[in-house]
Structure 1
Amino acid sequence: MECSIKLAKSATKDLKNLKSAHLGKKLMVVSQNNSFQNPPPYEKLIENLKDKYSRRLTIQHRIVYSVDSNAKEIIIWSAWTRYEK
């Protein structure tokens, strides 16, 4: 299933930080064709983030995203800090 990738408003600042840290290419770990591809491993989040997934970009940074299969969209919520959104 090919999906479009959208940035949530909360992730736009994160994208600038990733580019300045030369990690922009790592953002593509969320594949447009298979958002659950392994590796890199992903984990399903819990509690108030239960509809979201996380993948490690570096030891320090993670990407938090959700997948809407009906709309064929991957929404990136955060790409810089850990689970704050």
Structure 2
Amino acid sequence: MSNYTVKIKNSAKSDLRKIKHSYLKKSFLEIVETLKNDPYKITQSFEKLEPKYLERYSRRINHQHRVVYTVDDRNKEVLILSAWSHYD
């Protein structure tokens, strides 16, 4: 049973289309499962982004791409802000 609901910000939906048609789909889905269970779980790819007061977090899909998200603990929701490279 999931502890959190994962939602996708409209601006990140184009990122999902890219992931769906790439070799990164499996890694992305594994990250989504982690976010559903515990968005703060410390893993090798977990990072709290700067500036810290914005409460944004990141998990690496691979070396180039990452999932950036926020957490609403009160409503038990994770909002994915982006899921592709910020270098493109």
> Structure 2 length normalisation: TM-score?
0.81
- Bigger drift between 71-80 and 27-36 goes to 27-36
**1:73 corresponds to which of 61, 68, 77:** 77
- 1:5 equivalent to 2:6? Answer yes
SS at match of 2:68: strand
Root-mean-square deviation (Å): 2.3
User: Counterparts of 2:87 and 2:57 in 1: how far apart (Å)?
Assistant: 10
- CA gap of 1:29–1:58, structure 2 versus 1, over 3 A, is same
SS at match of 1:82: coil
- 1:51 equivalent to 2:52? Answer no
Contact kept? 1:53, 1:65, Cα under 8 Å? yes
Name the structure 2 match of 1:22: 23
Structure 1 ranges of 4+ moved more than 6 A: none
The alignment of Structure 1 onto Structure 2 pairs a total of residues equal to 84
Letter in 1 for 2:31: V
- Greater helix fraction, Structure 1 or Structure 2: 2
User: Counterparts of 2:65 and 2:3 in 1: how far apart (Å)?
Assistant: 26
Gaps of 5+ in 1: none
User: Counterparts of 2:25 and 2:6 in 1: how far apart (Å)?
Assistant: 14
User: Counterparts of 1:52 and 1:26 in 2: how far apart (Å)?
Assistant: 20
Gaps of 5+ in 2: none
